[in-house]
Each structure stands twice: as structure tokens, then as C-alpha cells.
């Protein structure tokens, strides 16, 4: 349909194409977030399989229900091998508080079986019944990431969670909060596919500050830059945010 006022339609400037942020801008945003939220201190926990399972359990639920489901699973089964080999109905029952347990129980077992069966695992790491990803931090980073995203239902975000939280390796999970806040601050390209957002996030993050940027953008999304009604009037980043005017 033609615009009712062609002159006005012509005078509206086209949206500027997204450009990767300069290093100086990234550092300004990082510093402002650091002023508000500090520098997160979380040591890598060294449990990649637990991280994978936890990420599956976190889908479509809150942190509390996820943690209850995870604890029940760990209490009822003595090992990940036992989780893998149990009747699926028992897994489903154990993780029921985490929601959509029918889907999640199948997915968890599929991942555990794929880890057991994968012929690409180094020979030294294979045992007939054992489940281990201890070789991951010794592999080249891209190989480790490719391995993880080839597991059933595992995408870039989950792979990044495993690499960063379990081993402190260089990757940055882009979840719903990080992608929203990053896009509003024009650090990330709004609407880009998740794969590309992860590449952009990785490119802009100073080495060694993966955890800090991830956690502080996430905190900002939870506490201030909400999805529906961001609290721009009390936002510490308002003066450097190109999206502020959109929410007046
Ligand atoms: S000014 Fe508003 S849109 Fe920008 S980061 Fe702050 S809360 Fe989010």
C-alpha cells in the first residue's frame, strides 16, 4: 500500500546498518557494568556433563525449578552412567519439577549415549561403560566446540556454557538477556541468528573477560533492561544507549 504522505515517507532516514562496536565502546560499556555489578568471581567447576544436563533442565523453567530437578536427579542416581542406563520413566519422574520432563529426560539420555558412543573421543578417554569429557580442555578450542554442538539438541549457547563455566575456556553464552541487552546497546546485531550473535559476542569480548561480560549483561537484563518495559530512567547505561529513545 502506498504511504499516505509520500513526502514524509521519503524524508524518514533509513535505519543505520549495524556496525561492530569499537573496542573503546566495548570497554566503556564493560566499565559501566563493572561499576554497577562488580567483577563476577566464579571458578570453573570442571564438570562438563553436569553443565550439559543443567542446561537441558533450564529450558522453559526458572532457576529454582531447574536446581530442584537437578538435585533430585543427582540424589537418585549415583553416576551419569546410571542416568544414561536407567529406564527413561525414572529419569522423567526424577526431573519432573523442572517441567517438560518427558522431553528433557529423552534429551538427557540421548546426550549421555552420544558421549559414550562417539568414536571421535580420544582412545585414551574411552572405557566400555564410562562417561567422560575430560579430554575437552586439552583439545583445540574449535574442535571441542564442534564436538559439543554435534551432540543431540546442543547448540552454541550450551556449548559455550560448558566451555566457559566448566573450564574457563574462551566462549561467551548468548542467552535471551545477553542478546537483548547487547542488541539495545548496539554491541550485537538485533535479530541476527544465534550462531552469528555468538560470533559477534566472541569478537567483541576482550580475552579473559568472557565471564564478566556474560554475567554482567545478563544481570543488567534481569534487573533493569527488561524485555517488555526496560527501566531506562534508572539505567546506569542510559547515556550511552542508542535505544533509550525507543522506550520513552
Ligand atoms: S537505557 Fe534502557 S534500553 Fe538502554 S540499556 Fe538501559 S534499560 Fe536497556
Q: How far is the CA of 136 from the centre of ligand 1 (A)?
A: 37
Q: Can you tell me the distance from the alpha carbon of 183 to that of 50, in angstroms, rounded to the nearest whole number?
A: 30
Residue 217 Cβ < 6 Å to ligand 1: no
- Cβ–Cβ under 8 Å, residues 102 and 116: no
Tens digit of each residue's pLDDT (9 = 90 or more) over 8-20: 444 445 556 889 9
To test the pocket of ligand 1, the residue of 224, 227, 242, 246 to mutate (highest count of ligand atoms within 8 Å of its CB) is: 224
CATH code: domain 21-42+173-247 is: 1.10.1670.10
Model confidence over 152-168: pLDDT tens digits? 999 999 999 999 999 99
- pTM, 2 dp: 0.87
Class of domain 48-167 as given by CATH:
mainly alpha
- pLDDT tens, 203-234? 999 999 999 999 999 999 999 999 999 999 99
151 SS3 class:
coil
pLDDT at position 248 is 74
Atom number, ligand 1, closest to the C-alpha of residue 224: 7
Q: Residue 119 C-alpha to ligand 1 middle, in angstroms?
A: 47
Residues in contact with 127: Cβ distance below 8 Å, sequence separation at least 6, in sequence order: none
The response to whether residue 177 sits with its C-beta less than 6 Å from ligand 1 reads: no
- For 94-148, the DSSP string reads HTGGGS-HHHHHHHHHHHHHHHHH-TTS-GGG--SS----TTGGGS-HHHHHHHH
Instruction: Name which residue sits closest to atom 2 of ligand 1, judged by CA.
Output: 232
The fraction of the chain above a pLDDT of 70, given in percent, is 88
Task: Dig out the grid coordinates for 2 from the structure.
Answer: 502506498
Q: How far is Cα 191 from Cα 168, in angstroms, rounded to an integer?
A: 28
Q: Ligand 1 centre from 213 Cα, in Å?
A: 16
Q: What is the CA(9)–ligand 1 centre distance, in A? A: 28
More confident call, 206 vs 117: 206
Residue range 25-83, pLDDT digits in tens: 999 999 999 999 999 999 999 999 999 999 999 988 999 999 999 999 999 999 999 99
- Mutation probe of ligand 1 site: the residue of 35, 185, 190, 239 with most atoms within 8 A of C-beta: 185
Domain-wise residue ranges, the chain:
21-42+173-247, 48-167
Amino acid at each position: 500500500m502506498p504511504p499516505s504522505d509520500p513526502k514524509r515517507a521519503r524524508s524518514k532516514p533509513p535505519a543505520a546498518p549495524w556496525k561492530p562496536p569499537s573496542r573503546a565502546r566495548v570497554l566503556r560499556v564493560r566499565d559501566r557494568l563493572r561499576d554497577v555489578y562488580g567483577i563476577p568471581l566464579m571458578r570453573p567447576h570442571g564438570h562438563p556433563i553436569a553443565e550439559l544436563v543443567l542446561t537441558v533442565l533450564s529450558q522453559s523453567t526458572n532457576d529454582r525449578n531447574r536446581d530442584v530437578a537437578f538435585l533430585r536427579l543427582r540424589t537418585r542416581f549415583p553416576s551419569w552412567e546410571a542416568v544414561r542406563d536407567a529406564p527413561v520413566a525414572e529419569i522423567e519422574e526424577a526431573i519432573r519439577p523442572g517441567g517438560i520432563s518427558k522431553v528433557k529426560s529423552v534429551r538427557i539420555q540421548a546426550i549421555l549415549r552420544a558421549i559414550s558412543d562417539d568414536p571421535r573421543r580420544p582412545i585414551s578417554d574411552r572405557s566400555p561403560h564410562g562417561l567422560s569429557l575430560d579430554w575437552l580442555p586439552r583439545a583445540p578450542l574449535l574442535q571441542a566446540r564442534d564436538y559439543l554442538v554435534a551432540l543431540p539438541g546442543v547448540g552454541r549457547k550450551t556449548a559455550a556454557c560448558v566451555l566457559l563455566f566448566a573450564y574457563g575456556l574462551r566462549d561467551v553464552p548468548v542467552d535471551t538477556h545477553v542478546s537483548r541487552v547487547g542488541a539495545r546497546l548496539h554491541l550485537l546485531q538485533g535479530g541476527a541468528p544465534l550462531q552469528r550473535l555468538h560470533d559477534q559476542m566472541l569478537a567483541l569480548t576482550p580475552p579473559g573477560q568472557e565471564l564478566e561480560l556474560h554475567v554482567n549483561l545478563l544481570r543488567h537484563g534481569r534487573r533493569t533492561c527488561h524485555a517488555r518495559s526496560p527501566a531506562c530512567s534508572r539505567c546506569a547505561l542510559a547515556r550511552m544507549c542508542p535505544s533509550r529513545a525507543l522506550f520513552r
